[in-house]
C-alpha cells in the first residue's frame, strides 16, 4: 500500500484534512469575502448571531462583523503556526542531527543548550520574549519558534543516533563518503517521518500559543486573530457569549484537525503501527 492510500483509509485524518483545507480556503479568500477588512464597524454593536441578514455570527463590542474577524483570524493563526514551525525545525533539526551524529562533546554541548531552554516553561518564556520584543506578528512568530524547537532537537538526535548505528551507514563510511554527505544524504532522509508527524502537531501547538498570547493582550494590536477576539470578549462574556464562543470553536476545530492529520500521518508513515491498529 502506498502512503497516500494508507492515509485516506484513516477517516479521522481525512476529516482533519477536510477541515484544514476549508480553513485554508477561507483564509486565502478572506479579502474577497470581506473586502472591508475585519475592523470595519458595519452595524450596531452586540447583534446576536443569526438575527441579521449578512451578519450570521453577529457583531462585537464595536459593531464589527464576527465572521469577518474569524476569517481574517484564520490567516494569522495559520501563518503564525506554519512559519514558527518552519523556524523551529530550522533550529531544531540541524542541532539535533549534529548532536546525534557526532556524539561526544558536540552532543553534550548541544543537549545542555537544549535543556537550558527546556527547563523554562514554554509559555512563560514566550510571554517574556514578546514583552521584550514588543508585540508584533514577527516577534510573536519568533517567540513561538524559540520555545518550540527543543523537542525537535531531542527527537532528531534520538532518531539520528539510532539510524547512525545501522549497517548501511558503516557501509557508506567504508565507501569513503564524507561525514556531511552521510548525515545529509543517508541519515536524515530516514528520520523524516517522525519529524513530519511532530511538525503537524507543532503547528497546532503554535496556534494555541499565539491565541493564548493574544488573549493576554500580547498580540499584535493591528492584526485580528482568534485569541484577540476571545481576549476582547472576555469582559462581556456574560452578556455576549457568541463573541468568545465562535473564535473558541475555530481554534478547537483547527487544532483538532491538525492533531488528526498528525496521527494519520504517523499511522501512514509507519505501516507496522497501522497494521496493528493504534494503541
Partner 1 sequence: MKLLKATTFLVAAAMATGAAAQQDGGRLDLIVQPEPPGLMLGLVQNGPTQMVAGQIYEGLLRYNQDLEPQPSLAKEWEISDDGMTYTFKLQEGVKWHDGEPFSAADVIFTTKFLQDNHARFRGAFSHVESVEAPDDNTIVIHMKEPYGPFINAFEAGSMPIVPKHIYEGTDYATNEMNNTPIGTGPYTFVEWEKGSFIHLKKNPDYYLDGLPHIDDLYYRVVPDAASRAVAFETGEVDVLPGGAIENWDVARLTKMDNVCSTSEGWEFFAPHAWMWLNNREGPTSNKLFRKAVMYALDREFVKDVVWNGFGKVPTGPVSSKTNFYTDDVPQYPHDPEKAKELLKEMGYDGTPVRLLPLPYGETWQRWAEAVKQNLEEVGISVDIDSADVAGWNEKTANWDYDMAFTYLYQYGDPALGVARNYIESQIQKGSPWNNVEGYVNPEVDAMWEAAAVEPDNAKRQDMYTEIQQKIVEDVPVAWLLEIEFPTIYRCEVKNLITTGIGLNDGLRDAWIEQ
Applying CB under 8 A, which of residues 232, 250, 255, 265 lies at the interface with partner 1?
A: 232
Q: Per the structure block, which three cell numbers stand in for 202?
A: 507543532
Cβ of residue 263: shortest distance to partner 1, in angstroms?
38
Query: Is 76 among the residues that bind partner 1 (CB under 8 A)?
Result: no
Nearer to partner 1, 159 or 220 (CB): 220
Applying CB under 8 A, which of residues 8, 21, 29, 41 lies at the interface with partner 1?
A: 41
Q: What is the DSSP letter of 221?
A: T
Query: Is 138 among the residues that bind partner 1 (CB under 8 A)?
Result: no
Query: Is 216 among the residues that bind partner 1 (CB under 8 A)?
Result: no
Query: Is 217 among the residues that bind partner 1 (CB under 8 A)?
Result: yes
Q: Per the structure block, which three cell numbers stand in for 193?
A: 517521518
Cβ of residue 215: shortest distance to partner 1, in angstroms?
12
Are the beta carbons of 225 and 219 closer than 8 angstroms? yes
Cβ of residue 40: shortest distance to partner 1, in angstroms?
7
Q: What is the DSSP letter of 219?
A: S
3-state helix, strand, coil in the chain (%, to 5): 75, 0, 25
Applying CB under 8 A, which of residues 40, 106, 125, 196 lies at the interface with partner 1?
A: 40
Please give the Cα distance from 124 to 143 (Å, whole number): 11
Please give the Cα distance from 255 to 261 (Å, whole number): 10
> Closest Cα partner for 254 from 219, 210, 208?
208
Query: Is 222 among the residues that bind partner 1 (CB under 8 A)?
Result: yes
Judged by CB under 8 A, the stretch of 55-63, 76-84, 90-98, 208-216 that binds partner 1 is: 55-63
Cβ of residue 237: shortest distance to partner 1, in angstroms?
9
Going by C-beta distance under 8 Å and a sequence separation of 6 or more, which residues neighbour residue 234? Answer: 215, 244
Please give the Cα distance from 10 to 2 (Å, whole number): 13
Query: Is 125 among the residues that bind partner 1 (CB under 8 A)?
Result: no
Cβ of residue 54: shortest distance to partner 1, in angstroms?
19
Please give the Cα distance from 113 to 101 (Å, whole number): 17
Q: Per the structure block, which three cell numbers stand in for 268?
A: 501512514
Judged by CB under 8 A, the stretch of 9-17, 80-88, 115-123, 229-237 that binds partner 1 is: 229-237
Please give the Cα distance from 127 to 208 (Å, whole number): 13
Nearer to partner 1, 2 or 222 (CB): 222
Cβ of residue 135: shortest distance to partner 1, in angstroms?
5
Q: Which residues bind partner 1 (CB under 8 A)?
A: 39-41, 45, 61-63, 134-135, 217, 221-222, 232, 234-236, 238-239
Amino acid at each position: 500500500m502506498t502512503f497516500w492510500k494508507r492515509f485516506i483509509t484513516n477517516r479521522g485524518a481525512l476529516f482533519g484534512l477536510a477541515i484544514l483545507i476549508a480553513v485554508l480556503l477561507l483564509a486565502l479568500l478572506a479579502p474577497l469575502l470581506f473586502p472591508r477588512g475585519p475592523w470595519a464597524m458595519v452595524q450596531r454593536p452586540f447583534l446576536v448571531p443569526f438575527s441579521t441578514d449578512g451578519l450570521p455570527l453577529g457583531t462585537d463590542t464595536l459593531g464589527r462583523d464576527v465572521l469577518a474577524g474569524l476569517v481574517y483570524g484564520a490567516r494569522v493563526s495559520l501563518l503564525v503556526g506554519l512559519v514558527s514551525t518552519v523556524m523551529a525545525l530550522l533550529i531544531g533539526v540541524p542541532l539535533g542531527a549534529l548532536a546525534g551524529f557526532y556524539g561526544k562533546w558536540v552532543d553534550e554541548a548541544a543537549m545542555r543548550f537544549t535543556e537550558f531552554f527546556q527547563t523554562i516553561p514554554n509559555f512563560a518564556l514566550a510571554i517574556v520574549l514578546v514583552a521584550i520584543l514588543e508585540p508584533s506578528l514577527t516577534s510573536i512568530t519568533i517567540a513561538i519558534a524559540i520555545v518550540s524547537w527543543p523537542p525537535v532537537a531531542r527527537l532528531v538526535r534520538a532518531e539520528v543516533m539510532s539510524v547512525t548505528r545501522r549497517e548501511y551507514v558503516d557501509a557508506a563510511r567504508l565507501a569513503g563518503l564524507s561525514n556531511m554527505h552521510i548525515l545529509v544524504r543517508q541519515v536524515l532522509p530516514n528520520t523524516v517521518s517522525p519529524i513530519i508527524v511532530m511538525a503537524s502537531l507543532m503547528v497546532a501547538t503554535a496556534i494555541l500559543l499565539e491565541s493564548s498570547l493574544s488573549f493576554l493582550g500580547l498580540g499584535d494590536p493591528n492584526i485580528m486573530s482568534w485569541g484577540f477576539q476571545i481576549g476582547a470578549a472576555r469582559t462581556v462574556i456574560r452578556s455576549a457569549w457568541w463573541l468568545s464562543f465562535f473564535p473558541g470553536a475555530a481554534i478547537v476545530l483547527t487544532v483538532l484537525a491538525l492533531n488528526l492529520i498528525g496521527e494519520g500521518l504517523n499511522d501512514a508513515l509507519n505501516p507496522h503501527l497501522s497494521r496493528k491498529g493504534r494503541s
